[in-house]
Amino acid sequence: MTTLWVDADACPGAIRDIVLKAAQRRHVNTVFVAHQPLRVPRTRFVRAVVVAAGFDAADDHIATEVATGDLVVTADIPLAARVVAAGATAINPRGTEYTAESVHSHLAKRNLLTELREQGVVRGGPAPLGPREIQAFANSLDRHLTRLASAN
């Protein structure tokens, strides 16, 4: 059975709410993973896993537990690359899908921007999520869950 994993340490509240509603509506096993306790309803389809504090502990847990056919919600591109390599699918909170074809270019862009920020050439990060990005995520999640349901 497909599992929906959420890298919950930095997951925006609006995205968390969409995932929770989808999990209940579609009866999808959903696991929120974070390094601190989360306030998510514990239901038949939703649970939270708290991992030890530490750099990338939540990412490591997800990468270790994810299975082929699972879906992971994460803004962390290195985690997305690990997820895709494991045969799962990853989408970010803006609805962008990371695939075997695209994840390496996303990773290269992320690394370049990190380097430019460290040099002071570029400042800041992505713009805050707005209604358009939240809707794009909801649409992407729905497409993926529909595809996964038809494959099962």
The pLDDT tens digits for 68-94 are 999 999 999 899 999 999 999 999 999
Structure tokens at 129: 């999520």
Structure tokens at 93: 């909170």
Q: Considering the chain, what is the average pLDDT of its residues?
A: 88
Residue type, 100: A
Alpha carbons 148 and 150: distance in angstroms, whole number: 5
Q: Is the pLDDT of residue 18 over 90?
A: yes
pLDDT of residue 112: 65
The domains of the chain, with CATH numbers, are: 3-151 (3.40.50)
Q: Is the pLDDT of residue 44 over 90?
A: yes
For the chain, percent helix, then strand, then coil, each to nearest 5? 45, 15, 35
Query: Residue 144 to residues 6, 60, 119, 120, 131: CA-CA distances in angstroms?
Result: 14, 23, 38, 38, 20
pTM of the predicted structure, to 2 decimals? 0.86
Alpha carbons 58 and 131: distance in angstroms, whole number: 27
